[in-house]
Every structure is written in structure tokens, then in C-alpha cells.
Amino acid sequence: MENAILQLSYLIGSITFILGLKMLSHPDTARKGNLIAAAGMIIAIFATIFLYEYTGGEGQPVRLHNYGWIFGGLIIGTVVGSFAAKKVQMTAMPEMVSMFNGMGGACAMLISLVEYNKPEVKETGTMIVIALGMLIGTVSFAGSMIAWGKLAGKIKDRTIPGGQVINFIIFAGLITLVVLVVGGFLPEMHGLFYGILALAALYGILFVMPIGGADMPVVISLLNSFTGVAAAFGGFLYNNPVMLTGGILVGSAGTILTILMCKAMNRSLKNVLIGSFGGAKAGAAAGNKEQGNYKEISLNDTATLMAYAQKVMIIPGYGLAVAQAQHTCHELEKVLTDKGVEVVYGIHPVAGRMPGHMNVLLAEADVPYEKLMEMEDANDQMGTTDVVLILGANDVVNPAAKEDPTSPIYGMPILEVEKAKHVIVNKRSMKPGYAGIENELFFRPKTSMLFGDAKKVLQDLVSEMKQV
């Protein structure tokens, strides 16, 4: 009876994961979907704690008994996680995603370590799962920590001479070690198994280290899929449907998202991983290019131009997140709408520092989902747009992606803002964007620069707009 209840709990958990993921596809249901999936996880956790049985040393079924350690870990993790989630700013959300994702990889790595060191004889299939869980979980953990450091500005891009060859050698070494450990070809396997741990950590560090800023959203998504696959291996080890379902969902969703983002950037995954997109070379290229002449626009002229426009498109970027100006931006949108101006938002798939960063930012400010336009639809309407207001975006509107074959972002689809009648760019300064390259858009005839902190500028713009 108790085993039936345990299996039913796992089934409920698996179903809630699927429902929750489905509901995450739309902002109106995303919060509820997240809560439903969390409820399913809680049911599965407590069912495991109180109903799960395993075979003890004498062959007798034994239940979990070290409740002090279990609930101590649950309480500490819940408190730390809740505090971190409530305090994190939207600008730091990508770092938190990388950090939490890395913790998932570390859990998969520790599961493999624990299971490998158990004394009982393991079948070949079990050894394959343990070895691959160790490899993928460690790569995900090490890579995610490097991604966290880069997003937080604590680690700079580093291109190692011959890095691609070194990574290939390490990867070949990892495959060799896995084959030796699984096959049991040598009398002493422990050293080789820990060799997988060391090489996988080194590989995770080296393959993320040279990847430049513009590709970081893709890398975060890829590492997320790695963690999902590693968790699925844990589900195989423990014959746990919830771990298996959750791991498969995360792994498959992360892989699909990675492919879609690569397609949106017109780049292959191979180019992302070996191309050092927006890294040291990009910075060097930016440094060798002369700046042109740009023109500024006043707040009053901006307010007048937008108030008498028929259609305004707002392009949000990381600068908007840094200034925490999403609510003020929504206020500007409402003021313009009251004046009879049509307002929409053009969303580039890799704007910000993680997949969907701008969508989450604007959803937090209750911007209607219907006003968010994907890149292709936004470009189709750009020719009928009177004013484009760019708030802290840079690389995703850079014409070099279409016009300069020598640019490191060449070939990446962009928001074609130059098709609009007027382009206004809000930035703190003329510094290059996250990819580290100059933006020719700022020096084009249709473009005017509106310098200042996004939140302060938007607040002043709202005040000016109300007087027009």
C-alpha cells in the first residue's frame, strides 16, 4: 500500500512538471505553472522521505532515518534560496540562474560519486550511467561557475592559444577514461574515475572561458540542458520517475531553446562554442575603429517627437535592466497610449544576459504580452514606425551584423531600426556594448543620442510628455 502511494506521488510530481512547463509558455499562466510544479516537487520529496525503502546490509528493507540531516538541509536550502530569490535584482538574475544551474550539476556529480563508492558490484549499464552522470554534471557545474563569474564581471574572457586543440584532447581523454572505467579493463579503477572528475572540471572551465558576451545566453541555455541530462541519469540510478521526468524535461527544453537561439543569431552551436564571439578579438576590433560624429537630442524634443507620432516602438536592452526602469517604461507607454500613439516593444531573442531576459523584465512591470513583438514581426513593422526608442540595447541593433563581414557579429539577425523614420538611443555613454564592438548606428543620420540613466531619463520624459 505504501509503495503504491509512493509511486502515485511520483506520478503526480511528473504530471505537475509537465503541466508547469506548459504553463510557463505564457506570462498569464507562468506564475501558476511555477507553483504547480513546485507543489508536485514538494509532494515527491516528502513521499520519498517517509515512504521510500532501500535494501540494507542484511538484505532487509530499510527506510530513511537520518531525519535531522535531511530536514536540516531542507530548511537551510529553503531559507537561503528564498532569501536570494527575493533580494536578487533583475540585472543579477542571469548570474543567479547560472549559479543555481551549477548547483544542479554539482548534485548530479555528487550522486555519481556516492553511487560509485558503494561496495556492491555494479552492472555495466549502471556504470555507464554513473560515469556519464559524473562527466556531464561536472562539466555543467564548472562551466556554470565560470559563466556566473563572467556575468558578474568577476572573470574576463580568456582565449587560450591552441584552446580548441586542447579542448579536443581533453574531450578525447574523457571518453577514453569513461570507456576504461565502464569496461573495468584495469584492476584499479578509482584513480581513473576521479580522473573523469578532474578532466571534466577542466573541460567545463576551458570551453566556457573564451566565449564572449553576446553568446552567453546560448551558453547558459546549453549548460542548463547539461544539468537536465545529468539529473535524468540520477533518475535512472534510483529508478525515480520524478528525477527522470524532470531531467528529461529540463534537458530537452534546454536543448531546443539552445537550437532556437542559435537559429535566431544565424550561428551554429559549433561556432558559438569555438568562435569566441564578442571576446578578445571583438574588443581589439572595436579599439582600432575610429568614432564618427553623433548628434544629441533634448528631452523636450524627444517628448514632442514621440507625442505627435502615430507609432512608437520601444527596444529594451540590458541598460533598462541595470537602471531598473521597466516600471517607468510602462508608465511612458501608458502616457503615449492615452495620447493616441500606438506603442509596441521590439524584442530580440538574445537581448540581455539570458534567454527571455527582456520578456521577464517587462512582465514584471505588467506590460501586456500582446505588445511584445518578436524580432521578425518587429522588423516587418519597422517601416511604418515613426519613432524607435532604444533603451540600453546595443549589439542587437548594430548594423555591422548585416554590413561588415569583418565584424565578429556579422550574420547575426538584428532589429532593423534604421527602417523607422526616427531613431532615439538612450545610453549612459558611448561605450561599446557587451560584445565589445563599436555601433555604427549611433553615427547614422536618422539617429539621435539621449544620454543618461534610463530610469531618470524616462521619468523626465514622462513629465515632459504630460505637458505636450
Q: Which residues are catalytic?
A: 395
With residue 70 as reference, give the H or E element that holds it: helix 67-87
Looking at the chain, how many residues does it have?
Answer: 468
* Region of 239 on the Ramachandran plot (φ > 0 left; ψ -120 to 50 alpha; else beta): left
Q: What distances in angstroms separate CA 257 from CA 103, 104, 106, 421, one per listed residue?
A: 21, 19, 22, 34
Burial class (CB in 10 A: 0-12, 13-18, 19+), 356: middle
With residue 437 as reference, give the H or E element that holds it: none
C-alpha to C-alpha distance for 229 and 92, rounded to whole angstroms:
26
C-alpha to C-alpha distance for 352 and 8, rounded to whole angstroms:
41
C-alpha to C-alpha distance for 208 and 143, rounded to whole angstroms:
6
Amino acid at site 22 = K
Please answer whether residues 375 and 300 qualify as being in contact, where contact means their C-beta atoms are separated by less than 8 angstroms: no
Q: Give the three cell numbers for residue 98.
A: 547560472
Please answer whether residues 358 and 316 qualify as being in contact, where contact means their C-beta atoms are separated by less than 8 angstroms: yes
DSSP string, 132-173: HHHHHHHHHHHHHHHHHHHHTTSS-----TTHHHHHHHHHHH
As a dihedral over the C-alpha atoms of residue 396, residue 398, residue 402, residue 405, rounded to 10 degrees, the angle is -110
Torsion sign over Cα 339, 344, 345, 348: negative
The CA angle 395-396-398, to the nearest 5 degrees, is 60
